[in-house]
A and B are shown apart, each in its own frame.
Chain A
Amino acid sequence: MAKRVSASNVTAYYGGFKAIENINLTVEPKTVTALIGPSGCGKSTFLRSINRMHEVLPGARVEGSLTIDDQDIYDRDVDVTAVRRTIGMVFQRPNPFPTMSIFENVVAGLKLNGVRKKSILEDAAEKALRAANLWGEVKDRLGKPGAGLSGGQQQRLCIARTIAVEPQVVLMDEPCSALDPISTLAIEDLMFQLKDKFTIIIVTHNMQQAARVSDRTAFFSIEKTGDPGRLIEYDNTQKIFSNPSVKKTEDYITGRFG
């Protein structure tokens, strides 16, 4: 249920603008990896290129190779939708489908996969909601609109929606930046539980969060505005936050720049 993600020489463009250049890193299964760095350093771009969401924007493209357990997801013969089903994504702002109920939101991905049988959908919805620590709060109102929940609940609903299709890898793009501290804590706890089953990669601006939740941390940075983002240092989280090998990383985590 969890796979290794390897990037080699990944370069991504928005039209003529090169956003990231030559990113090389490997994420081990069943770990949490945090991507940190100043705004505009390309960490979200890199995250979005892992499940091929980057190319959704007009003019955006990716070069280099990205593999999931040795399968190149940018291979010509690979079905994009299959890649995205294998590599789920949770976004910065909670984005439940506004016209759907809580239940419909959770099973949306399964329905896209052609699952129609009500009993299967119900079991899967309960399982996903329990895994997202949301079941107790919503089990009596599964028919109500998903958008009627609080921000933190909505984000956990989106996590439930993502894990309901049982992906191998879960990408999280600043999943707590729109949430209050209590909801943030709930999501962080959830990440601890989820890494038993999934490979998790999270982009965060919050360095305490990176230190709390991740096993490994990748630090991205740019020289100046307009330059492509590069991977500066990638190591065990403990090492990055206590004794980084690169001066720039140390400057960033101690708050001297960025």
Chain B
Amino acid sequence: MGETPHRSADAGTGGTRVTQSHEWPAGASARVAEAPVSTRSPGGTGLGGGGALPRSRKFGAERAFRGLTLAAGTAVLVIIAAIAIFLVAKAVPALRANTENFWSYEGWSPNETEPKFGIGALAFGTVLSSALALLIAVPVALGIALYLSHYAPRRLGTALGFLVDLLAAVPSVVFGLWGRDVFSSPVRDFSVWLNQHFGWIPLFGGDGPFGASVMLGALVLAIMVLPIITSLSREVFLQTPTANEEAALALGATRWEMLRTAVLPYGRPGIIAAMMLGLGRALGETIALALTLGITFGISFNLIQNGGNTIAANIANAFGEANETGRGALIASGLVLFTITLIVNITARAIIYRRREFTESAA
């Protein structure tokens, strides 16, 4: 798990490097593997007895395995291309039929005779709820991860770590139902309180009703992404070389200073990778948000009033009654979601890549 940041840092540089680095170990291991084989073959010249060296083999497990890995690598590209082509082919006719601006129109009625739909509000809602979820989840997750890896007694740490992983196994529809039926009432009370005391901040303004809001959706999302961020960062923290931790302690660092000097910087690429995986899950989360958000089509920074919507939640809500154009419109929105996720990933890679000089020499 600790390898993750290194690997992803490499992956950013493209495939050529991966294949290059494969050549060497493959060639070397083949040579090592051949020596004992040739001694066993009846026609062979035996153990270094003075005969000619055995000929290299034209076919064999080495070659077959190389073919298999190549096929597996190619499959990824084919699948991505196929998805992209599918999305574009379905989306373009619907986008042509749109009578409003796809980027700026705030509403979604693609099934009318004059289809009107716009992605702006949905994309905004998606990014807002995910960013908010990450903002809530990351500090908590890092806290849990540091506690599990460096403070908790080993047995307790393992047990708690298992519980956190269990949280990741809860289906998202369960989170959605729980958020809608149970969690919404404390969030509503809290929202009313926020509105009374901090109503002058636009984020917490409005006249209600409160509850089925971006805040509820973001909180549920935060709980959902918590386990993945926690368990990945915990793994990364556990990978910190003991030598570095001891170096910090021997300089007179307290436990917290040791974490700050040795553990957190070492785990930084891993933390970023974990955050991006969490963000990826939050951006694509569908049913939990479809159940908890108020479903409106407007761009608003208000966090506590009923409202909010995301691309994925909208697809889940609208797909059932959609006609041909409606489905095309939804697929176009899916394409936008795909692009957002791609940008997020590229950004994360860029951040990791920029510090590679320091992280690669870490090993």
Binding site for B on A (CB under 8 A): 51, 53, 56, 58, 81-85, 88-89, 91, 93, 95-100, 108-109, 112-113, 144-145, 147-148, 158, 161-162, 165
Cβ-defined contact, A89 with B250, below 8 A: yes
Contact of A81 among B254, B262, B266 (CB under 8 A): B254
* Interface membership of B336, Cβ < 8 A: no
* Interface membership of B90, Cβ < 8 A: no
For the complex formed, measure the closest distance between the CB of B259 and the CB atoms of chain A, giving whole angstroms: 12
Cβ-defined contact, B261 with A112, below 8 A: yes
Q: Within 8 Å CB of A99, what residues of B? A: 265-266, 268, 355, 358-359, 362
Which of under 10, 10 to 19, 20 to 34, or 35 or more describes the interface residues of B? Answer: 20 to 34
Contact of B252 among A84, A91, A95 (CB under 8 A): A84
Given A112-B261, A147-B361, A147-B362: A97 in contact with B250 (beta carbons within 8 A) = no
Q: Within 8 Å CB of A93, what residues of B? A: 243
For the complex formed, measure the closest distance between the CB of A191 and the CB atoms of chain B, giving whole angstroms: 18
Contact of B246 among A91, A98, A109 (CB under 8 A): A91
Cβ-defined contact, A84 with B359, below 8 A: no
Residue of B nearest to A110 (CB): B251
* Interface membership of B66, Cβ < 8 A: no
Q: Within 8 Å CB of B362, what residues of A? A: 98-99, 147
Q: What are 20 A-B contacts defined by CB distance under 8 Å? A: A53-B246, A85-B251, A89-B250, A95-B241, A95-B246, A95-B247, A97-B244, A97-B248, A98-B241, A98-B361, A99-B362, A100-B265, A108-B248, A112-B248, A113-B252, A145-B357, A148-B357, A148-B361, A161-B247, A162-B251
The CA-CA distance from A176 to B122 in the complex, in Å, is 62
The CA-CA distance from A144 to B362 in the complex, in Å, is 13
Given A58-B154, A112-B261: A97 in contact with B247 (beta carbons within 8 A) = yes
The CA-CA distance from A95 to B358 in the complex, in Å, is 14
The CA-CA distance from A83 to B250 in the complex, in Å, is 9
The CA-CA distance from A6 to B248 in the complex, in Å, is 25
Cβ-defined contact, B261 with A98, below 8 A: no
Contact of B265 among A51, A81, A97, A161 (CB under 8 A): A97
